[in-house]
Chains A and B, each alone.
Chain A
Amino acid sequence: MAVEAAPRGLRVTPRKLAKYPPLVLICIGFLGLVLFAAAFADLVAPKPYTAQDLLNRLKPPSFLGGPAQYLFGTDELGRDVLSRLLYGIRVSVLVAILGTVIGAVVGTFLGFVAAHVRGIVEETIMMMVDVQAAVPFLIIALAVLAFFGNSLTLFIIIMGINGWENYARLTRGMVLSASTHGYAVAVRSLGAKPLRIYGRHILPNIASALIVQFTLNFPSTILLETSLSFLGLGIQPPLTSLGQMLGAGRNHLILAWWIAVVPGVTIFLTTLSISIVGDWLRDRLDPTLRGR
């Protein structure tokens, strides 16, 4: 069992793994799989996702009696569900990551600005936070899509706006409380400039709370995209996303339920895994945070 080559800290020993709850490990494993699928969809997919096989339309998955080459069956145009699933994962995951990162960066930045500049700027930013929190974002997103039409850029911007207010509110609160007490005052009295105080001292100390917020926000962004795509107002064909597959599959529920169920289960397991990992992370990083 001795693995001499790797340095002590990096060895993945059974003892080390045992420190993590098995459920969390399974979820991390699943998420790893999802990321792999997103990254390598075109290498792994058995068929191109637009390839139609009209003789084999609406065939069930191979493990339920369908043709052997279609693991998850085919849809109404004979396209391989597995391949479409992989490409759909790629689109959904990419859009969600992009959106969440944009939201996190913009939100955190605005939170810092609000806490640092104070005054009317802070009031304005917090007012925007209130407004964003007041109306359900799905409605706003639908309205914007209605008024401006649906372009991919606009869609990603909308994903980015989802949830920024949580980061802003969180960051501002933490920076304010850090600024009035403790080490922030101490380092300032040492003569440090604000950038150094924020970047080297405050940010690392609030990072864990931000990471937790990220794990709360990411599933919500995925769900936003999939909901909009499901309603036909999100990712448009020929691009495919998980929500879109579900939406399209809805019309064939009786004859070919797998078209909808396969992407649906994938979405569900993904958000579930992120929630579980997020909970565990929150418990680990700060046991004083209350579970929401």
Chain B
Amino acid sequence: MSAGAQSPPLLEVRDLVRHFRIGARALFRRPETVRAVDGVTFRLDAGETLGLVGESGCGKSTTGRLVLGIDRPTSGEIRFDGRSVDRLPIKDWRRMRCDMQMVFQDPYGALDPRISAARQIREPLDIHGIGTPEERSAQVDDMLDAVRLPRPLRDRYPHELSGGQQQRVVIARALVLRPKLLVCDEPVSALDVSVQAQVVNLLAALQRQFGMAYLFISHDLKIVRHICRRVAVMYLGEIVETADRKELFDRPAHPYTQSLISAIPVPDPAVSRTRILLKGDPPSPIRMPSGCRFHTRCPFAEAICAEQKPALREVGPRHHAACHFAERWMS
């Protein structure tokens, strides 16, 4: 364990569970449970960047919302700065917003269509009553500069801005309170590919500039590789592997991680890649496979995989994986 782990973590998530009951209010129908998040544990230190990766429906977005307290967990613990998030009275929760913020997937949807960019960025300051009106204006201008948004755009309405510009406004609005934690939920998925790189670079630069911690949620490994020091891979509501960036990409210990990595395009036609193809569709989060949840699609599954669920165990320095045969892959 490195020396930094001695100090208390900024964010600590333990056995987080979020189940949804669907069909509960309908007559003549038995309610079913969607196990969106099913026992997730991780920690995030101050200033650290953690990527949360997985395919659609694996529960990563739900985890992000639970961490912020926007959603209530079914069970489990979330501690931010030593304080419990999930059992917080609403007034304290609101005040905690100054320390933790979110950047959303759909930038246009996150902005009020009737308010100018500058006023949107100012809103958090107004809500929490921070500073005098002149100070707030100055802060807004500072943020506009920080996110590389030209000053003339400050009075434009969301629909008058491009997707990338809209997202910058969202980022500026999230950062104006100088939060300690920024949860980015697929912040570039809705943007054009050419703009994605710009925004990702911006997020990386801002992290270096302001030193806040990131929980970066994405299905795109290549973006996560660019920005995050550590990566956690999720599948069907559980974390199946966590490692430092280099370690994860050099020696992935879980077949799912391997398949994700193998799918990243390499810009060199001379390099041959063996793509690890998964069989079948992802199972429904209502009816989970027995044993290891991945065994139905795993190209290397053996009998034990269907019977016994592998625990998330340490397989290397700061490297955990949930596979019976992790060591096999790492050599």
Interface residues of A (CB under 8 A from B): 181-183, 185-193, 196, 201, 204-205
Contact = CB atoms under 8 A, between A and B. Distances in A.
B172 to A, nearest CB: 12
29 contacts: A182-B109, A182-B110, A183-B109, A183-B111, A183-B112, A185-B70, A186-B104, A186-B109, A186-B111, A187-B112, A187-B123, A188-B70, A189-B70, A189-B97, A190-B101, A190-B124, A190-B127, A190-B173, A191-B95, A191-B98, A191-B124, A191-B128, A192-B123, A192-B127, A193-B94, A201-B112, A204-B114, A205-B112, A205-B113
Nearest to B94: A191
A261 to B, nearest CB: 46
B106 A182 contact: yes
Q: Ordered nearest first, which 7 A-B pairs have the shortest CB separation? A: A191-B97, A182-B109, A186-B110, A191-B94, A183-B112, A190-B124, A192-B127
B323 interface: no
Contact of B127 (A182, A183, A191): A191
A188 B170 CA distance: 14
Given A190-B124, A191-B128, A205-B113, 18 more contacts: A182-B109, A183-B111, A183-B112, A186-B102, A186-B110, A186-B170, A187-B112, A187-B123, A189-B70, A189-B102, A190-B127, A191-B95, A191-B97, A191-B98, A191-B124, A192-B123, A193-B94, A201-B112
B109 A190 contact: no
B231 interface: no
Contacts of B128: 191
Contacts of B173: 190
A195 to B, nearest CB: 12
A186 B106 CA distance: 11
Nearest to A192: B127
B209 to A, nearest CB: 21
A190 B97 contact: yes
A97 B157 CA distance: 34
Contacts of A196: 127
Contacts of A189: 68, 70, 97, 101-102
Judged by DSSP, the binding face of A is: helix
A235 B120 CA distance: 51
Given A182-B106, A185-B70, A190 B113 contact: no
A161 B107 CA distance: 41
Interface string B116-142: 000000011001100000000000000
Contacts of A204: 114
Contacts of A190: 97, 101, 123-124, 127, 173
Given A189-B70, A189-B101, A190-B127, A181 B95 contact: no
Interface in B56-114: 68, 70, 94-95, 97-98, 101-102, 104, 106, 109-114
A109 to B, nearest CB: 21
B115 to A, nearest CB: 8
A183 to B, nearest CB: 5
The winner among A182, A183, A193, A205 for most chain B CB atoms within 10 A is A183
A105 to B, nearest CB: 22
Nearest to A204: B114
A187 B101 CA distance: 11
B114 A205 contact: yes
Nearest to B183: A189
Given A189-B101, A191-B124, A181 B94 contact: no
B9 to A, nearest CB: 22
Nearest to B128: A191
Contacts of B109: 181-183, 186
A221 B106 CA distance: 42
